[in-house]
Structure 1
Amino acid sequence: MGVSTARPEAGVAVVTVDFPPVNALPVQGWYDLAEAVRAAGADPGVRCTVLAATGRGFNAGVDIKEIQRTPGHTALIGANHGCAAAFSAVYDCPVPVVAAVHGFCLGGGIGLVGNADAVVAADNATFGLPELDRGALGAATHLARLVPQHLMRTLYYTSRTVTAQELHRHGSVWRVVPLRELTRAAMELAREIAAKDGSLLRLAKAALNGIDPVDVRRSYRYEQGFTFEAGLSGVSDRHRDAFVAARTRPEPPEEPSMERES
């Protein structure tokens, strides 16, 4: 469990997140992820980094249960700073980052994917920001890098999700493949990128970041201010408490089937 890095072939580093059951990262997990991505990019032998995850989904955002069981605002502040560190590590990684997404990609997952250079997704992948339902704000900066402006606003206000196929139509997902082929597809793209000259790749990444129309660090930091305002007002706690209560409520007994067993 945690964050691990592998180098399956020359020029490619694979950073994998594993926080069962749903990859909702605790505060330290975000910092560990940031450090792993920074270390991969700092390796002169790496020319492309793949960001992947194990389990049921790519990323379910922050660990809300950790925030609610920690007295005061320490965990909330830690989660916000940890997310910012991880998002920045992906964006500032000196080499291209390919996100390999399966299952759900929510909240902080959007921050990671929105800051990646390319996205390969399994056909079961869904993307969204349920922030308003969780008493939070943030990562609209990164969702706006995946979908057009008005769709971003609609998704943000409604907490709806979109499929990998929809993002592919918008051009923000490079390929959509069956789940069993996700690793192979992500590695194929990473291999193609890593075949280029390493020095030129690093110059290209710096150049593309330099001409970005939005400063993702500044705009996300601006969003975080409203998250803290919601937290201090008490509205965030109400929504997070309701979320935690819903997740810990016992499942109702299964109704007997009306169909006769064969």
Structure 2
Amino acid sequence: MARSPKLEAQLSIRPGAGAPFRKRWMDLLGSLESEGSITAAAKAVKLSYKAAWDAIAAMNNLSDAVLVERSVGGKGGGGARLTPQGKRLVATFRAVEAESERFVQRVNRRVQDKADIATLGRMTLLTSARNHFAGRIASITKGAVNDEVELKLPGGNRIVATITRESTQTLGLKKNGEAIALIKSSWIILGVEDQSQGAPTMKLSARNCLRGIVSRITRGAVNSEVVVDLGSGSSVVAVVTNASAKALGLAPGKPAQAIFKASSVILGVPG
């Protein structure tokens, strides 16, 4: 059964500039307080012994007061204890973290449609690809090296992607599961129906052909960006040369086909 989407928060503290606050460092200090051993604390937060000491040194350097006092060769391979300032810092962080969690729980209770949360989650994806399509996996055809994954979009269109078997397993792809298809605009070929009498019907090896109506063309010095409306609120963007756009007679309101190979589709899953 698919897990119902919900909001989650990861506390991030930014001092106005520089790198974000490292939550794992506070987890390390908290574990050091409860475990009484740097070895056990490092293991609890999945850090190496050296990485734990490096983090402690960095925190001590960044703090106005010493947070951790150390003595080599103590219990569990190296003695370390939190100073009063260190304990206070951990307590402050836990209080802020708890308040953040209470806020998120209140928001989750007030959200009426959990599907909205899933939609917001998909919008956090940052990529250079112009075309993003969210859908559900209709089928997975497994091969020795590559798998063929068919994605059904909300409007009824389908996109076929060819990915490695390893990628299918890494992404945890399953039938009826959610996935996102990414296609760069430069990977899409545009085509139009030849209306002349006796014109031959072209057959292509590309697995994907999305039919729609040209809604917008933005012309540049060399290339044109063409938006094809697929219906149901979906669209696809392709970049073609100005010469190709002219030769195909592309214009707003004209039918067009967006053609791309299955190997040109990148699949992702919500985090």
TM-score range, shorter chain: under 0.3
Between 1 and 2, higher relative CO (CA 8 Å, sep ≥ 6) is seen in 1
What TM-score do the two structures reach when normalised by structure 1? Answer: 0.26
Larger Rg: 2
* Greater strand share, structure number: 2
What TM-score do the two structures reach when normalised by structure 2? Answer: 0.25
